[in-house]
Every structure is written in C-alpha cells, then in structure tokens.
Amino acid sequence: MTYNRRLYYKISLIKGKNLVEYANKTVFIDKQGILFATPKIPYRYTPQAKEQSGFFCVFTKEFLSKSRTGLLIDELPIYQPNSDFVYHLNDEQYLQMEWIFRKMDAELSSDYAFKYDLLRNYVLELIHSGQKLKPLKSTAGATNAASRISSLFIELLERQFPIDSDAQVIRLKTPNDFARSLGIHINHLNKVLKETTGRSTKEIITGRMIEEAKILLKQTQWNVSEIAFALGFEEVAHFSNFFKKHTTLSPLKFRN
C-alpha cells in the first residue's frame, strides 16, 4: 500500500517461515500464524523462506464503527499498544481462519444488498478468534535491539506526517505517548535514542513538529489556529509560543 494509507488496519493469515520485529520483541513464525496490524504500532516483517502463502484484508476504523454493535476497535484488547499481535495457528485453526477469508473473498464479488454488514461480521469473527489465541513467544532479535527501537520510533513519528487535511490531528505528541505505543519505558526509549541519534525523544519530536509547522505555514492557506489544531495544540497561544521558542519568529511573521 502507498505511504499515505496510514489509517488502515490489516489482518494477515500467514503460511511460511517469517520474522516479525516490534520494539524490543522478535517473533518467529515457523509454520503458520495470524497477525493483527494497527496503524498505531510499527513493526518489521521479514520472510525467512521463499514459500509463502495466505490471505490478508485491510480496513479502516470507520468501516467497523458502522457495525450495529457500535464497536470501537481501539478498545479491543488485541489492538492495545502493549498487546501481542502475532499468534501461532495449528492446522485446524489455520483452516478455520482460511475459511473465513474465503467467505469474505466470495462476498466481495456478490450483489447481496447487505454484504458489507456481513463482511464486518467476518472481520469481527477474525478479531475475536485472534483474541482467544495465545501469542507467540518473543525471542532474541536478529538485529540490534537499540537500533530497531530507534528505527520503529522514527517510523511511528513519520506515520503522522505529512498532514494533508485540516481535519487530521496527530495523536502522538509527547515522549510518553511514543513509549506507550512501543511498549517500553520512557527512560529506555530516551537512552536508546541518545545512543543511536545523539538526541532525546523530546528533541526529535519537537524538530519534526517544527518542520511540519513550517511546511504548513508556507505551503497552505490554513490559518494559524487550524495548523495549531492539526499539530495537537488545544490553544493557539500554546502553538505560537512553541513555534517562537524554537524559531525566534511568530507563526505569522514566519509566513510573511
């Protein structure tokens, strides 16, 4: 998928040897498994053999919110920041999951008037089936844990940009926000970033937000309050003070 599709959730049914790396965790899929990806949690997925097969589906939070149950996907345990989201499947479990995917595939091409309601039910069945499984155990990483955490932090930060709509608001603004999403302690994240980049978590976040603020001020017609809101500031004054502190100019002076 292209970079700007950062709001998509993904469920992958996997058959084949694969390595999944997330923060300080490394999970090896030896035969078959299922992975529940959320745009809030970055991970690295590396095939370990040429023979690969399976299914996947992608969907948005809004797609599931239309369910008659009024479900909020981010409240589900499997999509919590500290959740283990890779699960081993035995042969019977794999066939059960595969059958759900095949029903979804067939329904997509049907002319049934309520097919999207049915597809939502199939997605929920996959999610609830996944929540009943035991996660695969994490093992020692094949790559350096510190550089992996640093890489995933940068990916998580960059996923929030570019801001291409004044209705878009960044969710992760503080070092603690990022530490929670990565499932590690803030002190460990700071230590890792200092070692790998020479800058603190706060310095990296601030630098990226200032960079985006400059782009929005120069390349859009949005007013300062719209830019402040998109960058996660509740008060325009707080954004103006933040911008001036790091650039010596007010947002309007910089724009002009």
Whether 126 and 167 map to the same domain: the answer is: no
Whether 115 and 151 map to the same domain: the answer is: no
105: three-class secondary structure by DSSP:
helix
Distances 33 to 19, 27, 150 between C-alpha atoms, Å: 11, 11, 27
160-191 CB burial, b ≥16 within 10 A, e <16: beebeebeeebebeebebbbbbbbbebebbbe
Q: Is residue 140 part of a domain?
A: no
Q: Which amino acid is at 37?
A: A
**Concatenated DSSP letters of 173-242:** -SHHHHHHHHTS-HHHHHHHHHHHHSS-HHHHHHHHHHHHHHHHHHH----HHHHHHHTT-SSHHHHHHH
Whether 153 and 250 map to the same domain: the answer is: yes
User: Which of 83, 92, 39 shows the shortest CA–CA distance to 62?
Assistant: 39
Q: What is the pLDDT of residues 113-136, one digit of tens each?
A: 999 999 999 999 999 999 888 766
Q: Is residue 77 part of a domain?
A: yes
Whether 198 and 240 map to the same domain: the answer is: yes
Q: Is residue 216 part of a domain?
A: yes
Q: Is residue 117 part of a domain?
A: yes
Whether 80 and 155 map to the same domain: the answer is: no
Whether 36 and 123 map to the same domain: the answer is: yes
Which H helix or E strand runs over 87?
strand 86-88
| pLDDT above 60 for 4 | no
**Concatenated DSSP letters of 1-65:** --TT-TTEEEEEEEES-EEEEETTEEEEESSEEEEEE-TTS--EEEESSS--EEEEEEEEHHHHH
Whether 125 and 237 map to the same domain: the answer is: no
Whether 104 and 166 map to the same domain: the answer is: no
Whether 84 and 150 map to the same domain: the answer is: no
How much is the mean pLDDT over the chain? 86
Q: Is residue 172 part of a domain?
A: yes
Structural domain containing residue 171: 145-255
Whether 81 and 153 map to the same domain: the answer is: no
For residue 55, list its beta bridge partners. Answer: 13
Whether 83 and 154 map to the same domain: the answer is: no
Q: Is residue 43 part of a domain?
A: yes
Q: Is residue 3 part of a domain?
A: no
Which of these ranges, 51-55, 148-152, 172-176, 227-231, has the smallest mean pLDDT? 148-152
Q: What pTM does this model have?
A: 0.61
Q: Record the tokens describing residue 134, joined without a space.
A: 């035991």
Q: Which amino acid is at 19?
A: L
**Cβ–Cβ contacts within 10 Å for residue 197, how many?**
14
Here the CATH number for the domain that contains residue 212 is: 1.10.10.60
Whether 173 and 239 map to the same domain: the answer is: yes
Q: What is the pLDDT of residues 21-72, one digit of tens each?
A: 876 678 889 899 999 988 777 777 889 999 999 999 999 888 887 766 666 7
* Domain count within the chain: 2
Q: Is residue 137 part of a domain?
A: no
Which of these ranges, 13-17, 143-147, 205-209, has the smallest mean pLDDT? 143-147
Contacts of 235 (CB under 8 A, 6+ apart): 228
Contacts of 80 (CB under 8 A, 6+ apart): none
